């Protein structure tokens, strides 16, 4: 039986060997980073090394890096109580704290009339569509673009942004809020004053060490052009599908997208059905965002772009990684098209 093929990198990325090695090394560090003795200073050194690695990968030298339990917590820290305007294409972790008043056009682009009172993602997890962030933006979800797109936080003219460790090959359960230096924000978790008073609680040193190593490795991949190669393989997949699936829409194909993301929408063919069929065939893909406790539902992102319910319910996401090979996507195309033709015959 052929090996399974993982095509769900926007949901989570396999742990990088650099992250694994850093985490194993951190397991032997005894001290608490807040302690002043030698063991504590050693732990503090691990923490600050990782902070520097993440800052460098984000292009955020001199900015303030606050470690959290993930992008969801970082989003809450950045957005809670601010009443910022948002869009329906945002991740649920953002929509929980913002409204959906920003207009989304049919290409997936968002208009932001008042950036200082708004939040806008850099790239969408479902469609891969990349936004042009306006100057003076209050908050940006940088999670999907981090490690895949060349950007520097210091150039974005954004007050705050956030990212997640496991989206770049670090461990799950660690994220970062990045802020312009001197930004005032109230802690939601209060206690010992860790993370410059922004997030109390002893830092998760093992996960943070892994995040730092993953960030450094991801930055190297980006500089080495790894994602250009991924984009070429993505294009091969789209060509194979586009030529044979006349009922299917390749969402966002005409605009700027993440180099690894394919969003396919087939009206009337439920996304969850496709996910199960591909799972049985040996391929891991998604129907929408994977961060909603396993819930499968019509894509709010496609709905915001003006697609009808039948089309939005028929959307799947295929997201590639640096290890994805051309033969992997061609095998997937063959398996998916087999099921597509069965669906088309039933629907005729």
Q: What is the per-residue pLDDT across 305-334, written as a single tens digit (0 to 9) for each?
A: 999 999 999 999 999 999 999 999 999 999
Tell me if 5-12+225-347 shares its fold with 17-223. no
Domain ranges (residues) in the chain: 5-12+225-347, 17-223
Which residues in 280-291 are b (16+ Cβ under 10 Å) and which e?
Answer: ebebbbbbbbbb
d(CA 306, CA 338): 29
Q: What is the greatest pairwise CA distance in the chain?
A: 74
Q: Centre a 10 Å sphere on the Cβ of residue 242 and count the other Cβ atoms it contains.
A: 14
> Which residues are annotated as catalytic?
291
Q: Does domain 17-223 have CATH number 1.20.272.10?
A: no
User: pTM score, two decimals?
Assistant: 0.94
Whole-Å CA distances, 171 to 12, 14, 166: 9, 9, 5
CATH architecture of 5-12+225-347: Alpha-Beta Complex (3.90)
pLDDT tens-digit profile of 254-276? Answer: 999 999 999 999 999 999 999 99
pLDDT tens-digit profile of 97-149? Answer: 999 999 999 999 999 999 999 999 999 999 999 999 999 999 999 999 999 99
């Amino acid at each position: 039986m052929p090996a399974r093929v993982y095509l769900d990198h926007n949901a989570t990325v396999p742990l990088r060997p650099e992250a694994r090695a850093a985490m194993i090394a951190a397991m032997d560090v005894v001290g608490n980073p807040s302690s002043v003795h030698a063991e504590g200073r050693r732990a503090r050194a691990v923490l600050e090394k990782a902070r520097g690695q993440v800052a460098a990968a984000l292009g955020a030298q001199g900015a303030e890096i606050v470690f959290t339990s993930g992008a969801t917590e970082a989003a809450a820290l950045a957005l809670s109580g601010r009443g910022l305007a948002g869009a329906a294409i945002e991740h649920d972790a953002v929509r929980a704290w913002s409204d959906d008043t920003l207009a989304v056009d049919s290409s997936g682009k968002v208009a932001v009339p008042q950036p200082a009172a708004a939040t806008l993602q850099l790239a969408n997890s479902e469609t891969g569509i990349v936004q042009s962030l306006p100057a003076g933006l209050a908050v940006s979800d940088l999670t999907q673009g981090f490690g895949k797109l060349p950007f520097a936080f210091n150039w974005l003219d954004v007050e705050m942004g956030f990212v997640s460790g496991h989206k770049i090959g670090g461990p799950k359960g660690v994220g970062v809020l990045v802020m312009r230096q001197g930004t005032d924000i109230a802690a939601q978790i209060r206690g010992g004053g860790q993370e410059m008073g922004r997030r109390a609680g002893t830092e998760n040193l093992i996960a943070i060490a892994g995040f730092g190593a993953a960030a450094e490795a991801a930055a190297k991949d980006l500089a080495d052009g790894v994602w250009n190669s991924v984009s070429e393989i993505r294009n091969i997949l789209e060509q194979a599908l586009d030529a044979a699936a006349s009922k299917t829409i390749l969402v966002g194909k005409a605009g700027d997208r993440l180099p690894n993301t394919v969003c396919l929408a087939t009206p009337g063919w439920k996304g969850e059905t496709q996910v199960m069929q591909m799972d049985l065939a040996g391929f891991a893909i998604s129907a929408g965002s994977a961060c909603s406790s396993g819930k499968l539902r019509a894509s709010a992102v496609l709905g915001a772009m003006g697609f009808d319910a039948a089309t939005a319910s028929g959307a799947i996401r295929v997201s590639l990684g640096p290890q994805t090979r051309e033969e992997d996507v061609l095998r997937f195309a063959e398996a998916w098209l087999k099921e597509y033709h069965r669906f088309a015959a039933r629907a005729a």
